[in-house]
């Protein structure tokens, strides 16, 4: 049976959310030495990552709409060009 695994940026953002929930579970005992690993900084990183994913989805949708419009505009060109 073939294996399937989820990969990509969306999965990484979801894993970051899981990490934050684990860290919150430790409560006051979670006290990292690096400031970048604090709960506040991790939540900021998650917010930025979610914003980036949203912008990427919007850009992909705009690209797909432009591509579809272009294909529709040139749909009848091939029969004319071969004559």
Give the residue ranges of DSSP H helices in 27-76.
39-73
Q: Categorize the per-residue pLDDT at 80 as very low, low, confident or very high, splitting at 50, 70 and 90.
A: low
Please report the pLDDT score of residue 30 as a whole number. Answer: 93
Give CA 37 to chain center in angstroms.
21
Q: What angle do CA 46, 47, 52 make, to 5 degrees?
A: 95
Q: Could you report the per-residue pLDDT of 17-26, keeping only the tens digit for each?
A: 999 999 999 9
How many alpha carbons fall within 13 Å on the CB side of residue 36?
Answer: 0
Given a cut of 60, is residue 83 above it in pLDDT? no
Q: Hunting for tokens 């579970």 — which residue is that?
A: 25
Tell me the pTM. 0.76
pLDDT digits (tens, 9 = 90+) for 36-72: 999 999 999 999 999 999 999 999 999 999 999 999 9
């Amino acid at each position: 049976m073939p294996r399937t695994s989820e990969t990509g940026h969306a999965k990484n953002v979801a894993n970051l959310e899981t990490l934050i929930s684990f860290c919150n579970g430790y409560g006051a005992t979670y006290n990292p030495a690096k400031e970048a690993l604090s709960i506040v900084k991790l939540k900021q990183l998650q917010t930025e990552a979610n914003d980036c994913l949203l912008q990427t989805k919007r850009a992909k949708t705009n690209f797909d709409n432009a591509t579809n419009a272009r294909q529709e505009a040139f749909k009848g060109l091939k029969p004319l060009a071969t004559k």
